[in-house]
């Protein structure tokens, strides 16, 4: 059975970010790195996305309308795309905070 813990997903992504920070110079560290890691750790298959969302509604802010996860009536909005966007955004936000804290620690 798969683990649908957002805490575990964040920890895995954070370890990858910290490894990348150790390996790369300051010039190579940018938002693209955060996007790449968050995207690679966001579930892809509909079943996994929906199971993950069901287990982590509050942690990923799935129903936070202020987060911009619900788009206008002309777009293709369905539960899977909304859930995947929420997971990605929550991961991206966590990794951005990790990167910001790293810069504060270095100063």
Mean pLDDT, residues 23-46 taken together? 83
**Region 101-106: what's the mean pLDDT?**
71
Kindly report the pTM of this predicted structure. Answer: 0.71
Domain spans of the chain, in order of start: 6-106
What class is the 6-106 domain? mainly alpha
Q: What is the 3-state secondary structure (H, E, C) of 54-77?
A: HHCCCCCCCCCHHHCCCCCCCCCC
């Amino acid at each position: 059975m798969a683990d649908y813990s957002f805490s575990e997903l964040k920890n895995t992504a954070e370890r990858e970010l910290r490894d990348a920070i150790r390996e790369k110079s300051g010039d190579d560290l940018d938002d693209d790195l955060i996007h790449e890691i968050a995207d690679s750790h966001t579930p892809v298959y509909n079943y996994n996305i929906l199971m993950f969302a069901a287990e982590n509604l509050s942690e990923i802010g799935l129903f936070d309308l202020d987060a911009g996860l619900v788009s206008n009536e002309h777009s293709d909005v369905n539960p899977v795309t909304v859930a995947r966007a929420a997971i990605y955004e929550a991961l991206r936000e966590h990794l951005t905070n990790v990167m910001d804290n790293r810069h504060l620690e270095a100063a």
